[in-house]
């Protein structure tokens, strides 16, 4: 590889991520014409077009899509190496990008972000809430947060919260009108608030343990959500039963807005874990965040 071979790759990826030469130029702090010339020079050296350009749109060619997919993790690895070198003898600093599901926000992130920022004011934290399973390396995140069983095997992970249980909850008004289910099979006579998986596009089956056997029950109720916050709003409004991890509903139960049902049948689940690629050096900003989060959440 010649020294000039990598010229233009950063502008090219900036255009792909930003969606336009002008937006990429703004991110890089250069002119749009400089970005355009750098990308054209890269295409010239490679001998293939990477972008399709019209007066109204900008897209990737097949070669461009493949090239971008392979360059992103390599560039992220290079960024990690640079950050790792800067870490020596320095305090935590820079942008820390974290990918997490929405349900992790009230349990894991909301309680610690403000005190973490006070402790480490030079670390800027970007939180990207995403109920899908992201490729954190390819998408440029420093770390992800997921329930333990959802962390990929090739990742390094550390537990942030202890093991908890699933919960089925409903409002006092709903139970007064419709009665209380005593066994999982009773859910067939109740309105259950469904959740559609963002990755598989299927409806989530409610999981129970009965007579030592695991049950995965499809439920019905006329309402389907892709967001836990909206689903619990509906439960508080008396629209049906909701299935969720217990820490998410704890405050509502303590406040009397929701009531637990079917508790003897609900399984335990691993707590939330923070994870990152095993090949990556743990940067000082990430190490500081992990240590702070583990200490704060376990103390709580």
Of 115, 137, 141, the residue nearest 126 (C-alpha): 141
Per-residue pLDDT at 207 = 94
The per-residue pLDDT for 148 is: 79
Domains of the chain: 3-70 (1.10.10.10), 91-161+271-299 (3.40.190.10), 164-269 (3.40.190.290)
Reduced to 3 DSSP states, what percent helix, strand and coil does the chain have, rounded to the nearest 5?
Answer: 45, 25, 35
Q: Tell me the average pLDDT across 147-167.
A: 84
Tell me the two tokens of residue 253: 């139960």
* The pLDDT of residue 84: 62
Q: How far is CA 97 from the centre of its chain?
A: 10
Q: Could you identify the residue written with the tokens 């390396």?
A: 137
**What is the rounded distance in angstroms from the CA atom of residue 46 to the CA atom of residue 27?**
25
- Give 213's contacts (C-beta < 8 A, 6+ positions apart): none
pLDDT mean over 233-260: 95
Count the residues in the chain. Answer: 300
pLDDT of residue 58: 81
Residue 280 has a pLDDT of 53
Give percent of the chain with pLDDT exceeding 70.
91
Task: For 75-124, write each residue's pLDDT tens digit.
Answer: 777 776 666 666 555 788 889 999 998 889 988 999 999 999 999 999 99
Contacts for 107 with CB less than 8 Å, ≥ 6 apart: 161, 245, 247, 248, 272
H helix or E strand, kind and range, residue 158: strand 155-159
Question: Do the Cβ atoms of 137 and 237 come closer than 8 Å?
Answer: no
Which position has the higher pLDDT, 39 or 134? 39
């Amino acid at each position: 590889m010649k020294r000039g071979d990598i010229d233009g790759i950063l502008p090219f990826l900036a255009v792909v991520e930003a969606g336009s030469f002008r937006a990429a130029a703004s991110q890089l702090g250069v002119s749009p014409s400089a970005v355009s010339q750098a990308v054209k020079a890269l295409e010239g050296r490679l001998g293939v077009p990477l972008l399709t350009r019209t007066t109204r749109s900008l897209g990737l060619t097949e070669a461009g899509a493949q090239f971008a997919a392979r360059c992103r993790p390599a560039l992220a690895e290079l960024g990690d190496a640079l950050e790792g070198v800067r870490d020596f003898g320095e305090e935590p600093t820079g942008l820390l990008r974290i990918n997490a599901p929405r349900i992790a926000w009230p349990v894991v992130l909301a309680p610690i972000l403000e005190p973490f920022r006070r402790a480490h004011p030079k670390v800027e934290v970007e939180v990207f809430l995403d109920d899908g399973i992201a490729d954190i390396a390819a998408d440029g995140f420093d770390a992800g947060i997921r329930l333990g069983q959802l962390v990929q095997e090739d990742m390094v992970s550390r537990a942030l919260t202890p093991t908890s249980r699933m919960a089925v909850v409903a409002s006092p008004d709903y139970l007064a009108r419709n009665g209380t289910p005593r066994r999982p099979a009773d859910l067939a006579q109740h309105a259950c608030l469904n959740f559609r998986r963002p990755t598989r596009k299927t409806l989530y089956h409610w999981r129970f343990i009965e007579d030592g056997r695991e049950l995965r029950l499809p439920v019905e109720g006329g309402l389907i959500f892709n967001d836990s916050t909206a689903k619990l709003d509906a439960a508080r409004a008396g629209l049906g039963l909701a299935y969720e991890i217990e820490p998410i509903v704890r405050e509502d139960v303590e406040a009397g807005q929701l009531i637990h049902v079917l508790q003897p049948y609900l399984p335990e689940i691993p707590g939330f874990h923070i994870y990152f690629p095993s090949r990556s050096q743990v940067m000082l900003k990430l190490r500081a965040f992990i240590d702070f989060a583990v200490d704060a959440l376990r103390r709580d």
